[in-house]
Structure 1
Amino acid sequence: MMNKCVTPMGKRLLRTWFLRPILDLDNLNSRLNVISFFVSSEELLTSLRDTLKSVKDVPHILKKFNSPSSVCTCGDWTAFLKSLSALLHINKIFELGISENLQEQANYFSVNIVEKAASCISMDLAYVYELVIGVVDVNRSKDKGYETTVKDGFCDELDELRQIYEELPEFLEEVSSLELARLPYMSRDKLLPQVIYINQIGYLMCIFEEKLDERILEELQDYEFAFSDEDGDVKRFYYRNAKTRELDSLLGDIYHKILDMERAITRDLVSHILKFSMHLLKGINFAAELDCFLSLALVARQNNYVRPILTAEAVLDIRNGRHVLQEMTVDTFIPNDTKIIDHGNVHIITGPNYSGKSIYIKQVALIVFLAHIGSFVPADAAKVGLTDRIFCAMGSKLMTAEQSTFMIDLHQVGMMLRHATSRSLCLLDEFGKGTLTEDGIGLLGGTIDHFISMYAPPKVLICTHLTQIFVDSHLSQSDKVKYYTMSVLRPDNSNEALEEIVFLYRLVPGHTLLSYGLHCALLAGVPQEVIKRAAFILDATTKGIHIDRACDEKITAQDQQYKNAVEKMVAFDAINGDLSLFFQDMCAGQP
């Protein structure tokens, strides 16, 4: 979604940016300045992206040029020339397409993109372009029907060979007509013999349908059978004779002579091009970086992202933050604020299932992450302190993982507790739920107390349903902890009318002891009878009432049958009773 680059190099570079977020404030602000400039100039953004679409994978082409075993095709030369032309056009856009208004904006954002384009896309690239088009004709191969790239008129000897090769079919047709006079009469119903040329094999007389018999070969003593082949229903028999041997001696393997000569010319051309490889790579690297900036600017324009304010302070202040992906999957996304300034670094978030807690903490992490690659972020405003690490214990598990989800959570939390600094961001989602409730409460409470006890704790966002830590005072009192919940609209406090509960997805101060799991089950399509039974058990457990076994008519009848059988067994006289009658009585009425 974020990678809208149009060049292969840009896609690779932007992926590298995502894999390696940075903490260099000057570098990040420089990236943000360039993106701000392009966000404010849609026409320039569109023009540059359209031009960049013609820039192909030049580093790969140069590597191919530099490989002794590789052969440069017309496609390679076409891609190379298009790329050079596009780079030169980009330079022209920056030279001539920047209006006074855009120049003022560039100065305002301290963007030196015009000067950088001029220094990276030098006139050496224009020289290379002229050098290539002076030797290579990328359309010649298509026009002539065989692999040939060197322009007409560049080499007289090559032009002479190519003329002979291109006129060869007509010449061989004349030779074939002369050779037919030596052969005995051939039926007009059959294909007439002809002299042909096969690359790397040479010139041969081709006889169709059937092989020459011994009687004819005695008359044609210079004929020597070479080989045969079959193409569908057509059989071909190839012979060498005096004329084909003469052609081999006179013309030789003319096609490969042409190829060898063209390859020698292109190798010489490539050796000249490679002298400018540093200039080429400098221009291509600029194009890749430009492509990344344009991609991030386009995403920012399309999704209403804003420029974050990056600071060296350990703060996080987000107004109306949104989730990068989630907002694209729903009709209306409810944004939320995040404010971690000075005190209150540990935020404990409670609330119902399905109310947006996990989405909220993930969106905070994504906003922080995007800010550290120099991107705009999905929010109305954001002030992000430099963050050295983002730790996550989200309960996720790879299919190939050899550990349980709970053990993975423990490893992640352990690493978090050992390495988190005041500049870190820590996310814990339902930590402690994978074991006994008592153990989970203890682990979660101990983790929170550890963060509280730190002199300069990291920024911590915790989602939990283990609300007993509030009731039983498991947590130390501290102004470093703030409590939030996801608001819910409910007309009354009864356990009935689950349909009337509305999740507002809005983060508000406070905490809740209810999870509204039955309402979530209803939303998920769990059968009504299951939800009714769950509501009954929940109510009985809350009030300390004995819970009767769930039953229906079928189960009740079966229980009565078992009860009758047990009573008969107890009443049976095992010493004097008749076992046969007993079993008949027991099985009476059974199918």
Structure 2
Amino acid sequence: YLRIDYRTRRGLELLESYEGREDLSLFGTINRTLTGMGRRLLKFRITHPFLREEDILRVQEGVEELTKNRELLREIRTCLEKMPDLERLASRISGNLATPRDFSLLRKALLSLKELREVLKDARSSIIVELLNQMVDLEELYLELERVLVEDPPIYLKEGGLIKDGVNPQLDELRSIKAKGETLLREYEEKLRKETGIQSLKVGYNRVLGYYIEVTKPNLRYVPSYFKRRQTLSNAERFTTEELQRLEEKILSADSRIKELEYELFLALKEKVLQSIDKVYKNAQIVAEIDYLQGLAQIAIEGGWVKPKLSKEKVLYIEEGRHPVIESFCKDFVPNSTYMDEKQLVHIITGPNMAGKSSYIRQVGILVLLAHMGSFLPCKSAEIGLTSSIHGRIGSGDILALGISTFMNEMMEVSAILNSADERSLIILDEVGRGTSTYDGIALSKAIVEYIAKNIKARTLVATHYLELTHLEEELPTVKNYHMAVSKGDEGINFLYTLKRGRAEGSFGIYVAKRAGLPEEVIQRSQEILASFDKQVPILEKVYQESEKLEWEKAFRELQEFLEGIDIAQTTPLQALLLLAEIKEKVKERSGTIC
């Protein structure tokens, strides 16, 4: 699979947003699956996209067929809408946790599976044809469930009412006895009413007393002597008779035997299901694959997505790409294009806060991920160079329990990226170095980008406020500058959310703070402080440069004095080698101190 670590998953908000909301994640946005199996597979594929080109192309072919054959897609979705979670049912049955209703759901799933097999016979793409051929015929199991199990069985196994009539002759006979006994019971109740003249008399049943005769208190004077008192209530009394006891024994013995026999027949049915459980699992996995394909086709049709071209070259060409999650919530989403190849591997993206830098670099990462899932992309056209891994340093925070500060956590993430990325990776860096002082942040950011450009040579997107990083374009041929455009007006700036070549004019942080509602007094004071900084920075830079020059001069004098103190005439070859090693160490030590 294409490698995506946990932090990158979090940063790209693949399965849930930072607030823990699934609906604001990539999964929540693109999920068009209709079964629990397909839903779980989609989650897995989002975090484990395909690595090999042949795997991606197979999925693309299946998705493309379904986007073109809308009738086939509609029929597949109709079948899947009725499909219970076959995988979970198989798990419950094999784990001895299933209720009779689970077996009824299994029967329904097998019927839907049968219908799905018929629908898939019209497919032509290799992946769907292959999946159809791998499906195991479970018609015999379905017919057995249909023959034995009632349409709507109870939840509990030992309640009875599980097995259909005609399945077992002994069971049918016992049911007939029970039915006749209940008929005799109703006839006996009517007979007692006529004998006693008590029209409100009734024969009832509960688990404690069994069958009983209930007479209300006003009618107690009409009760015959052969009635035996069983229970006294607030407004009635309950009795029994020898004849009622004989009827009760006949009915209850039949009922008890019925439940025992039904339980035995159900266990036999369960055993037959368990013998085919591996086949059920196999079919469940195939249904998940079909659901995954139709889900990708459905979102592609809804969003007007296009099939990307795959390339073995280290390229990334996306024309008018869109972020699928943001687009689903923003009607006026502004698309942006991406052009990366061997000549422009690293993009430094500057621009104001709120201008869309972070959204853009996340967008590129998500589109590359979607392409490796075999999905179509929300763009006008795309050519995606095969990628080995996606690394993101997006957002960060401290880990209080481990005593790790925000900046330390950020540096650990960057360290993991630099030590594991390769030239086929996609690296996304958002505001690296902002957790420390400005000069340290600039120095670290610049060194990190230089290392990636010179050593790793991976496609890299760097969003930053440090305009000093834009000078790297002049030093490194594979580094290119881009910025998020803004327009200036009388009332301030307007964000255009459009990516353009070149560097930004500034960060406009104070303007963003004003839009956020900070008091006017704070805004005015910050503008005054900023103006004073603009005057001081050149002076500070000059002082720094002069102090650096003095350090070099001091180091040179020390080295000169050391060399002058050596008596060449009295120095043996071995001593000369030792002195040379000492000189080298001193130069190395001084160079490190000054740098």
TM-score range, shorter chain: 0.7 to 0.9
Q: What letter is aligned with 1:320?
A: E
3-state secondary structure, aligned to 1:318? strand
**1:45-97 C-alpha deviation (Å, 9 max, x unpaired):** 11110111111122333344445564413xx34422322222111222233xx
Which amino acid letter does the alignment assign opposite residue 499 of structure 2? L
Question: Any idea what SS the aligned residue of 1:21 has?
Answer: coil
Partner of 2:420: 419
Match of 2:499 in 1: 507
Q: Normalised by the size of structure 1, how large is the TM-score?
A: 0.76
Q: Is the 8 A contact 2:473 2:479 kept in 1?
A: no
Output the TM-score relative to the length of structure 2.
Answer: 0.76
Q: Tell me the equivalent position of 1:556.
A: none
Structure 1 residues 66 and 431, CA gap change in structure 2 (3 angstroms): closer
**Contact 1:391/1:412 (CA < 8 Å) preserved in 2?**
no
Q: Which residue of 1 aligns with 2:482?
A: 484
Deviation track 1:498-540 (CA, whole Å, cap 9, x = no partner) reads 43x2222121121124111233234333344443343344334
Selected match of 1:155 from 165, 168, 172 = 168
Tell me which residue corresponds to 2:551. none
Inter-partner Cα distance in structure 2 for 1:91 and 1:172: 52
2:526 paired with 1:518? no
Q: Which amino acid aligns with 1:80?
A: L
Mapped partners of 2:400, 2:376: distance in 1:
35
Structure 1 unaligned segments of length 5 or more: list them. Answer: 492-496, 546-591
Partners of 1:410 and 1:377 in 2: CA distance: 33
1:87 corresponds to which letter in structure 2? Answer: L
Give the alignment of 1:33-48 within 5 angstroms.
33-48=61-76
Pairwise CA distance, 1:138 = 0.4
Q: Distance in 2 between matches of 1:304 and 1:357?
A: 25
Q: CA-to-partner distance for each residue in 1:166-197, whole Å, 9 max, x for gaps?
A: 455543233345667998x97x7xx53x4433
Supply the distance in 2 between the matched residues of 1:401 and 1:21 (Cα, whole angstroms). Answer: 33
Paired amino acid for 1:410 = M
Partner of 1:51: 79
* Partners of 1:445 and 1:140 in 2: CA distance: 69
Contact preservation (8 Å) 1:426, 1:460? yes
Contact 2:322–2:336 under 8 Å retained in 1: yes
2:161 alignment partner AA: T
Deviations 1:142-173 (A, max 9, x none): 9xxx9523222222332233344445554323
Show the counterpart of 1:430: 431
In structure 1, what is the Cα distance between the partners aligned to 2:283 and 2:522? 66
Equivalent residue for 1:8, pick from 12, 36, 40: 36
Structure whose residues are more often helix by fraction? 2
CA distance in 2, matches of 1:68, 1:517: 62
Question: Separation in 2 of the partners of 1:274 and 1:397?
Answer: 50
Q: Which amino acid aligns with 2:38?
A: G
Percent identity over paired residues: 30
Give 1:208 deviation, angstroms: 5.4
Distance in 2 between the 1:246 and 1:462 partners? 89
Distance 1:65 1:432, change over 3 A: closer
Change in 2 beyond 3 A, CA 1:51/1:474: closer
Q: What SS does the corresponding residue of 1:152 show, helix, strand or coil?
A: coil
Matches within 5 A, 1:267-416: 267-397=267-397, 403-416=404-417
1:41-120 equivalences in 2 (<5 Å): 41-66=69-94, 70-73=98-101, 76-95=102-121, 98=122, 106=124, 110-114=125-129, 116-117=131-132, 119-120=133-134
Secondary structure at 2:60 match in 1: helix
- Trace 1:105-184 onto structure 2 (pairs within 5 A): 106=124, 110-114=125-129, 116-117=131-132, 119-122=133-136, 124-138=137-151, 148-166=161-179, 168-176=181-189
Counterparts of residues 27-38 of structure 1 (less than 5 Å): 27-38=55-66
**Stretch deviating more after TM superposition (266-275 or 533-542):** 533-542
Local SS of the residue matching 2:475: coil
Show the counterpart of 1:203.
211
Query: Is the Cα–Cα contact under 8 Å of residues 100 and 153 in structure 2 kept in the other structure?
Result: no
Tell me the number of residue pairs that the alignment of Structure 1 and Structure 2 aligns: 504
SS in 2 for 1:325: helix
Measured at CA, do residues 542 and 125 of structure 1 come closer, stay the same or move farther in structure 2, by a change above 3 Å? same
1:557 counterpart residue number: none
Equivalent position of 2:449 in the other structure? 448
- Measure the CA separation in 2 of the matches of 1:152 and 1:204: 30
In the TM superposition, what is the alpha-carbon distance from 1:201 to its structure 2 partner? Answer: 6.3
State the 1:273 CA deviation: 3.1
8 Å contact 1:224–1:241 — kept in the other structure? no
1:405 deviates by: 2.8
Give the residue type in structure 2 aligned to 1:502: N
The 8 Å contact of residues 120 and 279 in structure 1, kept in 2 or not, is answered as no
Unmatched tracts of structure 2, length 5 or more: 1-28, 538-595
Q: Which range moved further: 263-272 or 239-248? A: 239-248
1:295-315 Cα offsets, whole Å, 9 max, x none, are 011111111222222233332
Contact 1:200 1:253 in 2 (8 A): no
